[in-house]
Amino acid sequence: MATRTILTLPDPRLRLVSKPVAKVDAEIRKLVEDMFETMYGAPGIGLAAVQVGVPKRVVTTDLAKKDEPKNPKVYINPELLWASEERAAYEEGCLSIPEYYEEVERPAHVKVRYTDLDGNEQEIEANGLLATCLQHEIDHLNGVLFIDHISKLKRSRVIKKFAKAARRETEEAE
């Protein structure tokens, strides 16, 4: 297992549309292990492979609270089959947009089809935090960030802030 570097805004790779995984092999299993180590170390509750620079349709999640046993889940090639008209708002954050949180409204209930680590197709119906997390991570696989769901003004402020910070880092490194 290895911790991988999490890409942060304004890295253009975060906007890549991830490619489907053809088969679950040793390379995918290693990627999943690294993603869990990276996600837990961050710490976060969800991570898409594209966030660690691998544009493949792989997502890891663990919604267990600090005092609960870990509950790692893997979703390979996740696909949103259905979303409710009922909406729910959650304050979202993102490991690729550190220390920025904003309320985002999404469908309250979803149905997702995915492949598990054994290569079996599964379906899950989710609501609450899991529904939000799955939608957030599937968005990543499609090159969409949670800030794309907030007002244009707030989004442009966040993008400017992270672009400025990235320029500062580049200048300091030179």
105 in a domain, yes or no? yes
CATH code (residue 143):
3.90.45.10
SS (H, E, C) the chain: CCCCCCCCCCCHHHHCCCECCCCCCHHHHHHHHHHHHHHHHCCCCEEEHHHHCCCECEEEECCCCCCCCCCCEEEEEEEEEEECCCEEEEEEEECCEEEEEEEEEEECEEEEEEECCCCCEEEEEEEHHHHHHHHHHHHHHCCCCHHHHCCHHHHHHHHHHHHHHHHHHHHHHC
55 in a domain, yes or no? yes
51-71 pLDDT tens trace: 999 999 999 999 999 889 999
* Residue 174: band (very low, low, confident or very high) from pLDDT cuts 50, 70, 90: confident
57 in a domain, yes or no? yes
Q: Is the pLDDT of residue 1 over 80?
A: no
Catalytic residue among 137, 169, 171, 174, which? 137
Count of beta carbons in the 10 Å neighbourhood of residue 162: 19
122-168 pLDDT tens trace: 999 999 999 999 999 999 999 999 999 999 999 999 999 999 988 88
Counting residues of the chain whose pLDDT is more than 70, the rounded percentage is 100
Contact by Cβ (8 Å): 136, 94: yes
Q: Is the pLDDT of residue 173 over 90?
A: no
6 in a domain, yes or no? no
117 in a domain, yes or no? yes
7 in a domain, yes or no? no
Q: Is 86 a catalytic residue?
A: no
Q: Which pair of structure tokens corresponds to residue 31? A: 């990627």
pLDDT given at position 66: 85
The domain in which residue 108 lies consists of 12-173
- Residue 46: in which H helix or E strand, if any? strand 46-48
Counting residues of the chain whose pLDDT is more than 90, the rounded percentage is 91
* Global pTM value: 0.95
Mean pLDDT across 101-123: 97
147 in a domain, yes or no? yes
2 in a domain, yes or no? no
Average pLDDT, the chain: 96
* Residue 75: band (very low, low, confident or very high) from pLDDT cuts 50, 70, 90: very high
pLDDT given at position 22: 96
Q: What angle do CA 36, 42, 46 make, to 5 degrees?
A: 50
36 vs 46: CA distance, rounded Å: 9
Residue 113 φ then ψ, to 5°:
-105, 140
- In the chain, the number of structural domains is 1
